[in-house]
Amino acid sequence: MNRQPEAAPMRAWLIEPLPPDVAQSVERLCRAEDVRHVALMPDVHLANEVCVGVAMATERLIYPAAVGSDIGCGMAALAIDADAELLADETTAARVLSGMYRLIPSIKHSREAVPEKLPDCSHDAPLSDSRLEKLKDRDGRFQFGTLGRGNHFVELQADEHERLWLMVHSGSRGMGQAITAHHLRKANADGHRDRLVSIDAESAAGQGYLSDVAWAIAYAEQNRLAILVAMERLLAELFGVAAIPESLIHSNHNHVRREAHQGQFYWVHRKGALSAAADEAGVIPGSMGSVSFHVIGRGEETSLCSSSHGAGRSLSRGEASKTINVRQLEREMRGVWFDHRHAAMLRDEAPSAYKDIHAVMRAQRELTRIERQLRPLLSYKGI
């Protein structure tokens, strides 16, 4: 008789009981081989294989599903030397949105705008497979500086003092997906569908995956910075205002890396979880119609020094599309400029499809300290 593996210890910071499907997914993760600790963030919700809003620690094995396919996805925030009054009228907002469509496409740049060479990503290290290298030169260049779809966005926001801020949420685009798919195909799942695919970190396959992850994280970081530069250029052209470079906050929430916790080294996986080490700065967005936060980590060891990466979905995209109509979206977005022509396509990103960000922040007071609250003024989503 086969005995079920003993479950790893788990800590949770939740705003509501776990739905049965989420609880089942978490139980599976806790019983996966070599998993030593699991932490659930208040934005936890169902996703492929491993839920979003999870941090976990292993000693030897790497689980690509606990990183996610958008490797290095994260947030960047940058203050602008201007007041919120800059976006006071519809004509001005329309000019900004028009410029964003031109400079920051959602999928790929036109051939004329593609960079000849990518910026230095992890010291320009070659990827582990020649097919990935070919994708780097093709998709990597054409998608560099683009936003992506889904919940990726650029927002103009105002802080409590009416200072204007930029916020960008984007990742490694198609490159992260290609890297993840490549390594999952290579990994041996030994025919058991109920087991998560893992890779030994000390093996050649594990070293190849970790090297590719480092490259994808660097690519995602450079991608966000390129979007910020495009926005700086646009705001300078339209209004003659400039960014404040020293205000930059930049972090990612999809990664695996070696960290020490309670005197022992682990491979810490974060999927939709922000690193929140003591005094570490981070960004936690709400929905496209609710406030966001700049935070400082408290270094809570039982959370693996992690926090939520956002509000977290309360409705799946399918559920949101079925239950939220255009009129409801527009009502929830009152006071925030966005492109109403695409309202039907944005229903699954409506504020009511997400958890209450204030409840999320209250649930994780042990994990982060709020430094700044920002309200959205203009929201740009890829379509």
Mean pLDDT along residues 142-168: 96
Pairing of the two strands 35-45 and 153-158: unpaired
Extended beta strands in 133-238, E state: 153-158, 163-170, 199-200
Block residue for tokens 């070919």: 134
For 220-264, write each residue's pLDDT tens digit.
Answer: 999 999 999 999 999 999 999 999 999 999 999 999 999 999 999
What span, in angstroms and rounded, lies between the C-alpha atoms of 40 and 52?
Answer: 9
Block residue for tokens 């019983």: 31
For 91-105, write each residue's pLDDT tens digit.
Answer: 999 999 999 999 999
What span, in angstroms and rounded, lies between the C-alpha atoms of 147 and 227?
Answer: 8
pTM: 0.95
**CATH homologous superfamily for the domain 10-314+354-381:** tRNA-splicing ligase RtcB (3.90.1860.10)
Q: If you count DSSP H runs as helices and E runs as strands, how many of each does the chain have, helices first?
A: 9, 16
**Residue 4 pLDDT level (bands cut at 50, 70, 90):** low
**1, pLDDT greater than 50:** no
**Residue 110 pLDDT level (bands cut at 50, 70, 90):** confident
Supply the pLDDT for residue 190. Answer: 47
Q: Are 154 and 227 contacting, i.e. CB atoms less than 8 angstroms apart?
A: yes
Q: Are 272 and 53 contacting, i.e. CB atoms less than 8 angstroms apart?
A: yes
Give the domain ranges of the chain.
Answer: 10-314+354-381
Supply the pLDDT for residue 223. Answer: 96
Q: What are phi and psi of 204, to 5 degrees?
A: -60, -40
Mean pLDDT along residues 304-332: 97
**Residue 293 pLDDT level (bands cut at 50, 70, 90):** very high
The reply to whether 253 belongs to the active site is no
**111, pLDDT greater than 80:** no
Amino acid at 46: L
Percent of the chain with pLDDT over 70: 96
**23, pLDDT greater than 50:** yes
**2, pLDDT greater than 80:** no
Out of 182, 261, 309, 358, pick the active-site residue: 309
Supply the pLDDT for residue 194. Answer: 58
Give the total residue count for the chain.
383
Amino acid at 352: S
